[in-house]
Amino acid sequence: MEKIDTGPDNGPEFQRYRTLYEMLLEAIPSSVLLIDQDLRIVSVNRNFLEKNRRTLPDTIGRRLDEVFPAIIIDQMGFAGRIRQVFEKNFHIKGERMTYRAPGIPLRIYYYSILPFSWKGVVELAMLLMEDVTEQVRLSEEVRRVERHLASVVESAQDIVLSTDMEGRILTWNTAAERLSGFTLYEVREQNFFDLCAGDDLGEMENVFANLRAGRNAQMAEWDLKTKDGGRVPVSWIFSPMKDHLSQTAGVVAVGRDLTERRKFEAQLLQSQKLAALGVMAGGIAHEIRNPLAVCSSAAQFIMEPDISQEFRQECAHKIHAGVQRASMIIENLLRFARPSVKTDPKEINLTRLLEETLSLVTNQARIQKIELHSQLAPEPICINGMEGLLQQTFLNLLLNAIKAMPDGGVLGIDLGKTESEAWVSISDTGHGIAPGDLNNIFDPFYTTAPAGQGSGLGLSICYSIVKQHFGTITVDSEERQGSKFTVRLPIREAEAA
Partner 1 sequence: MSDQSDLILIADDEPDLCWALEHLLHNQGLATRRALSAREALDLMEQHHFSRAFLDAKLPDMDGLELARRILEIAPDIRIIMVSGYFYRDDVSIQDAISQGLIHSFISKPFLQEEILKVLNA
* Interface residue list for partner 1 (CB under 8 A): 282, 285-298, 300-301, 318, 321-322, 366-367, 369
Q: By CB neighbour count within 10 A (0-12 exposed, 13-18 middle, 19+ buried), where does 129 fall?
A: buried
Residue placing its CB nearer to partner 1 in the complex, 132 or 292: 292
Least Å from the CB of residue 305 to partner 1: 12
Residue placing its CB nearer to partner 1 in the complex, 228 or 407: 407
3-state secondary structure of 65: helix
Spatial separation of the C-alpha atoms in residues 284 and 333, rounded to whole Å: 9
Spatial separation of the C-alpha atoms in residues 21 and 26, rounded to whole Å: 9
Least Å from the CB of residue 307 to partner 1: 10
Least Å from the CB of residue 430 to partner 1: 18
Spatial separation of the C-alpha atoms in residues 463 and 443, rounded to whole Å: 9
Residue placing its CB nearer to partner 1 in the complex, 322 or 409: 322
Residue placing its CB nearer to partner 1 in the complex, 201 or 330: 330
Least Å from the CB of residue 276 to partner 1: 19
Residue placing its CB nearer to partner 1 in the complex, 167 or 283: 283
Least Å from the CB of residue 293 to partner 1: 4
Q: What is the DSSP string of 387-442?
A: HHHHHHHHHHHHHHHHHT-TT-EEEEEEEEE-SSEEEEEEE--SS---HHHHTTTT
Q: CB of 338 within 8 A of CB of 377?
A: no
HEC profile of 280-293: HHHHHHHHHHHHHH
Least Å from the CB of residue 312 to partner 1: 12
DSSP3 helix / strand / coil % (the chain, rounded to 5) = 45, 30, 30
Strand partners, 491: 383
Spatial separation of the C-alpha atoms in residues 415 and 424, rounded to whole Å: 5
A 10 A CB-CB count for 438 gives 14
Residue placing its CB nearer to partner 1 in the complex, 271 or 296: 296
Spatial separation of the C-alpha atoms in residues 42 and 140, rounded to whole Å: 36
Question: What is the separation, in whole angstroms, between the first and last Cα of the chain?
Answer: 89
Distances (CA, A) of 343 to 9, 340, 347, 389, 445: 101, 8, 12, 10, 27
E strands, 119-230, where? Answer: 121-131, 159-163, 169-172, 218-225
Least Å from the CB of residue 237 to partner 1: 53
Residue placing its CB nearer to partner 1 in the complex, 150 or 307: 307
Residue placing its CB nearer to partner 1 in the complex, 126 or 321: 321
Q: Which run of H or E residues covers position 377?
A: none
> 174 φ, ψ to 5°?
-60, -40
Residue placing its CB nearer to partner 1 in the complex, 67 or 329: 329
